[in-house]
Amino acid sequence: MAQLGWGLSPAQKRELWQRWKAGQSFDQIGRALAKHHSSIRFVVRSTGGFLPRTRRRRASALTLFEREEISRALAQGRALGAIATALGRAPSTISREVAGGGGRGSYRAIPGGRSGVGAGTPAAAVPARPQRASSARHRPKARARLVP
């Protein structure tokens, strides 16, 4: 689903919804926020004219403290079952968390989890791997491309 907001900051979105609740028109809200009225209309209509709920994590989701404890315990070489017992969680929860974080060797406690806006490494920051030559006759060409 596309991200809604059309270039509105969180403060502008709060103001948009306050003005909408107060009964202002799309034109009035647009002028106040220096945005075209169709952008305002799109944001309001996308939720049926109702203020969207603020997003919250489930109460059962692992906290940053728990993620850090998992990371420390893995560094000490502790078993997943022992980590689960110490945190009062199911072993499957710990196993999924570690697997989703790259496994025992590369798990890191990441604030806010791994999903959501801004998660992961931007594509531009990941260096491209050179392509392998498919056969022996293409290897010299591939090497020539790799040498600056």
pTM for the complete prediction?
A: 0.47
The tokens for 71 are 């990371």
pLDDT, position 92: 93
Could you read off the pLDDT of 75-132 as tens digits, one per residue?
A: 999 999 999 999 999 999 999 999 988 888 888 887 545 554 444 445 455 555 555 5
CB atoms within 10 A of CB 125: 7
Q: Which sequence spans correspond to the domains of the chain?
A: 1-55, 56-114
Percentages of the chain per state (helix, strand, coil), in multiples of 5 = 50, 0, 50
Percentage of residues of the chain with pLDDT beyond 90: 37
Q: Chain centroid to CA 50: how far?
A: 25
What burial letters (b/e) apply to 100-115, b meaning 16+ CB within 10 Å? ebeeeeebebeeebee
Confidence of residue 26 (pLDDT cuts 50, 70, 90): very high
